């Protein structure tokens, strides 16, 4: 059995699940938000040192999680504790679920993980990503991560007259902040970085942005060519109007991306690069569960199929990616490109 840890509204997970079902592979969408009201979890040590792990759904269907051959750590949800209204009880209950689920993942070590949760968590840290990327030879922009307003002002002065951008560590579909250029009017707000640290970077001019989706050492690079709107430097705001084509990376960049993935211990990752007008490649970040449908749908690169093959334990017998013309630009829902 293949386990996909996500939820029904995750279009990426559902496409891969359809691929698996078409191959005749048994697959379970494990939506942790069904706990505790619509599902139960049991770890049973009565039959020996290797426990049986049962996930029982409201209709009575029982899934033996201990039989999982592969697990995709895609979009894990939290158990729905909305009915627990007392703050102290809610905190206690949430901690109990957290302990139980973290223990569960440790029991599924015989399964192949995309990506193993502890490695996924460590690899998702942007501060570490920049260091590892530089160590494997990828170019990275000059960066300052700080909650100190004076440090931020010093960084901006040191880079002058070069432009500076700023961005957040994370986002959700409810709270989403694109990467922004630091404007003169923003200087008056620099004291607010004391509230939460901010990432400042030198602005890297673009000939094209690149999204490189990696599946078990197989690269699916795509170039995103777009015309920025006034004040916008984040392709995610303009991707519906962009031209997206499959891309071939230079051999040295290709090898360094693979080295990055190996150092981070990732099977899957969506990497953001930028190609400058001088044909230099800069690394920005890797999203360990990044979106790929907006690339697949516009280029026909078979990313979902590659993920399904890996989860099913099949060799990735796909032809090498061949650049092809982008589909006609069209509006793209933000939930397919938010990360």
What is the mean pLDDT of the segment spanning 270-276? 96
Give the residue with greater pLDDT, 322 vs 133.
133
pLDDT at 188: 78
- Asked if 68 contacts 2 with a C-beta cutoff of 8 angstroms, the reply is yes
Averaged pLDDT of the chain? 89
Residue 103 has pLDDT above 90, yes or no: yes
Under DSSP, the state recorded for 187 is G
pLDDT of residue 334: 35
pLDDT attached to residue 315: 73
Higher-confidence position of 322 and 265: 265
Quote the CA–CA distance of 79 and 192 in Å, as a whole number: 33
Domain with CATH 3.30.470.20 in the chain: 208-336
Fold of 208-336: D-amino Acid Aminotransferase; Chain A, domain 1 (3.30.470)
DSSP 3-state of 165: strand
* pTM attached to this predicted model: 0.87
Contact (Cβ atoms closer than 8 angstroms) between residue 263 and residue 278: no
Residue for token pair 């031209």: 243
User: Per residue in 154-196, pLDDT tens?
Assistant: 999 999 898 998 888 876 555 546 778 878 878 878 888 899 9
Helix 11-22 and helix 303-311: axis angle, to 10°? Answer: 60
Q: Give the whole-number percent of the chain exceeding pLDDT 70.
A: 86
Q: What is the pLDDT of residue 241?
A: 65
Higher pLDDT: 225 or 250? It is 250
CB-based burial of residue 223 (10 Å sphere; 0-12 exposed, 13-18 middle, 19+ buried)?
A: buried
Residue 242 has what pLDDT? 78
Q: How do strand 198-202 and strand 208-215 relate by DSSP bridges?
A: unpaired
What pLDDT does 314 receive? 84
């Amino acid at each position: 059995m293949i386990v996909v840890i996500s939820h029904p509204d995750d279009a990426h997970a559902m496409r891969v699940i359809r691929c698996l079902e078409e191959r005749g592979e048994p697959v379970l969408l494990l939506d942790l938000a069904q706990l505790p009201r619509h599902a139960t979890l049991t770890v049973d040590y009565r039959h020996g040192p290797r426990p049986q792990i049962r996930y029982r759904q409201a209709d009575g269907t029982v899934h033996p999680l201990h039989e999982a051959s592969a697990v995709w750590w895609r979009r894990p949800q939290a158990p729905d504790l909305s009915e627990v209204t007392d703050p102290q009880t809610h905190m206690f209950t949430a901690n109990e679920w957290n302990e139980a689920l973290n223990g569960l993942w440790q029991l599924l070590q015989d399964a192949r993980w995309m990506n193993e949760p502890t490695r996924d968590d460590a690899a998702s840290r942007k501060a570490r990503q920049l260091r590892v990327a530089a160590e494997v030879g990828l170019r990275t922009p000059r960066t300052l991560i700080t909650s100190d307003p004076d440090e931020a002002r010093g960084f901006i002065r040191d880079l002058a007259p070069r432009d500076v951008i700023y961005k957040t560590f994370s986002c959700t579909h409810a709270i989403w902040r694109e990467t922004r250029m630091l404007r003169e009017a923003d200087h008056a707000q620099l004291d607010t970085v004391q509230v939460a640290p901010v990432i400042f970077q030198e602005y890297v001019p673009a000939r094209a942005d690149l999204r490189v989706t990696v599946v078990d050492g197989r690269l699916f690079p795509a170039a995103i060519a777009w015309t920025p709107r006034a004040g916008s430097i984040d392709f995610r705001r303009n991707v519906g109007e962009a031209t997206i084509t499959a891309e071939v990376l230079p051999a040295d960049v290709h090898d360094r991306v693979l080295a990055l993935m190996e150092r981070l211990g990732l099977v899957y990752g969506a990497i953001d690069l930028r190609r400058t007008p001088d044909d230099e490649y800069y690394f920005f970040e890797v999203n360990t569960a990044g979106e790929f449908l907006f690339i697949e749908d516009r280029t026909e690169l078979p990313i979902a199929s590659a993920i399904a093959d890996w989860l099913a334990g099949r060799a990735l017998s796909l032809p090498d990616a061949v650049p092809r013309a982008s589909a006609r630009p069209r509006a793209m829902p933000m939930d397919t490109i938010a990360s």
